[in-house]
Amino acid sequence: MMRQNLGRSTRSIYLCLAFLSLALHLLLAFLCFSILQTACVPSSSSSSSSTSSLPRTDSEHRQSLSHSSSPAASASNKLPTIPQNEEHHKLNSNKLNHKEKDLLWDATERENKLTGGLIQKVKGWSKLEALFKHPLYNLPPQSLQDDDWLLRVKTNTEHASDKESEEEEKEDSIDADSDWESASEEEGYDKVSWTKEVETHPPWLRFHLGISRWELYDRKDPNLAQLTHYLARQRVLGAVQKTGGTQLKLLLSFPNYGQALLKPMRQSRDAETDVNLFYFSDFERHNGEIAAFHLDRVLGFNRIPPVVGRLINVTSEIREITTDHRLSRTFFTSPAGNVCFYGQCEYYCSTEHPACGQPHSLEVSLAAMLPDLSLAPRRSWRSPWRRSYSRTKLAMWEKDPAYCDTVKQTPPYNHGTRLVDLIDMAILDFLMSNMDRHHYETFEKFGNETFLLHLDNGRAFGRHSQDEPTILVPLKQCCSIRRSTLLRLRLLSLPGFRLSDVMRESLAQDPLAPLAPLLSEGNLSALDRRLASVLQAVQTCQEHHTDVIYNDLEGYDTINSMHEEQNNK
C-alpha cells in the first residue's frame, strides 16, 4: 500500500516538473524572439533614410546587389542572414546564448560607430538641404543687364540690325531668328535643331548661356542636375588627349556636341601624398576634382565648372574610338591583364605610371567644358601668391611679411573686389590643401569686375594628416575677407551645419559614391579642423585691425543683424 502511494506521488512530481519545464521553454522562446526583433529589425523609414544618405562601401554595394536580385530581398532586410560557411552556427529555436547576444551587440555597436555621426538624413531631415535653405544661401539675386551675361540669345531686332554689320555678327551670341540644325548624322552626332527656345538646347549649352558676371552657375538652376546626369550617362563619341598642362587628361565628345574634360584615377582615393614629394610633383586626383566642385558649391562660391565621376571603359570608350595617334600608341595590356594607357605629357606619362582599367573599367572625373575661347575669351592672371616651383628658392611673399601692402597698391587689387575674391580662393585651397594655384582666370568680357574661375583642382585633398598654413597667407597678410564668406564659414562650423557632414552628404550624390566614399573620413575631418584655423586667423586679424570685413551685404538687414548676433556671442 505504501509503495503504491509512493509511486503515485512520484508520478505527480514528474508530471509537475514536466509542465514547469515546458512553460519555461515556451517563455524563453518568446523572450528570444522578442530580442531578435528588437536588435535586428530596424524601422523601414530610418533604414531607408540612412541608406540613401550614406555612400556605400564595396561590400555593402555587393550585398545590396545580391539582395535586390533575390526573391527574398525583402525578408533579408528584416532578419539577420547567416553565411553559407557558418550553417552550424544557426540560432537554436528555443534559446539565444550569451556569446551570440554579444556578437549581435558588437555588430550593432560597429554600425553605430560607423553611421552614428555620418547619417545626414534623420526622419527626413538633411543638413545639406537645411544649409541651402538658409538665408545666406538665398540672397536676392543682383539685377543683371544684357552686358552681364557671357553669352545671350539675340532678339529678332538685334538679328536684323546685325545683318548690316559684319563685325557685329561676330558677337558672342546665338542667332535666334533661324534654327540651327546639325548637318548630318554620319559621324555619330545626334540630329538636332536648336532655336531660341531653351527647351531645344542641350544641358551644356544651357550651362554656357547661364554664365553671368557674378557666378558660373545658379545653384538653384534645375539644369545643373541635368548637366551632371548627361556627363555621367551620355554615350562617348570621341576621345583625344588635351594639350597643355603637365599631366594626362583627355577631351571627350558626346553626340549632342557637348564635351568634357577627363582626368583618370591614378591612385586609390585614400592614398596620401608622400611627405617627400614637392607640391608640384604629386599625382592629380580624379576624386580631388569632384570634391573640389562640391566644396566650392557648399561654400556658396559657384566658381568651379560642374564635375561628376564616371566609370569609363578604356577599351570601347577611348581606345577603339580615338583618332589621336599619339594617345592610341600608348595603350598596352599589363601583366595582370588590365588595359592601360599613359599618353604624352610632362609628368607621369610613361609605362611606369599608367592609368589602368580593371580590366577595362576606369574611374574618372568629367568636368563640363567652358565656352570655346573664340566665343568667350579668358584672361590668365599670375597669382601674387604664386609659389616659386623651385626646390631651393622662396617666393617674395614667403620672405616679406608686409607683402600684401605692395599687392594692395597694384591693379587690379587696388580697387573693387579682386583682393577679397583672391582670398576666397585661398580659403578654398586651404580647406582642400591645394598648393598648386599658380594662375587663375577671368572672362575678358567682364573686365576686372567679375568673379575668379577656380579651375584645375586635381592636386586637392592630397594630404589630410597635416595642414599647410602657407596656403592661408593671403588672408593672414591682408587681413581682409568678405562678410558673406565669413558668415557662411561660421555657419558651417556649427554642429547643425558641420562642413564635414554636408560635404559627406553632397558627395554621396555622385555616381561613383556607391563604389566607395569620394573622400576618406580623414579628409572630411580635416575640413572641420582647417575651417577652425580659418576662423581663428580672422579673429586674430580682428584683434589687430578694424577694417577686416569687406561688407558685400549692404542692404540685407536680416543678414547684417545675424552678423551682429554672431559677434556678440
Q: Which residues participate in catalysis according to the annotation?
A: 436
d(CA 313, CA 315): 5
Comparing CA positions, the residue from 399, 437, 421, 554 lying closest to residue 480 is 421
d(CA 488, CA 381): 27
d(CA 419, CA 411): 10
354 neighbors 340 (Cβ within 8 angstroms): yes
Q: How many residues does the chain have?
A: 569
Binding residues: 247, 263, 284, 367-370, 441, 456
Binding residues for ATP: 247, 263, 284, 367-370, 441, 456
Binding residues for Mn(2+): 284, 456
Written in H, E and C, the secondary structure of 63-114 is HHHHHHCCCCHHHHCCCCCCCHHHHHHCCCCCCCCHHHHHHHHHHHHHHHHH
Comparing CA positions, the residue from 261, 302, 310, 269 lying closest to residue 288 is 269
DSSP 190-229: ---EE-SSGGGS-HHHHHHHT-BSS-SS-TT-THHHHHHH
d(CA 196, CA 425): 36
Phi, psi for 549 (deg, rounded to 5)? -90, 120
Name the grid cell of 326: 599619339
Tell me if residue 23 falls in helix, strand or coil. helix
- Amino acid making up residue 378: R
Phi, psi for 407 (deg, rounded to 5)? -60, -40
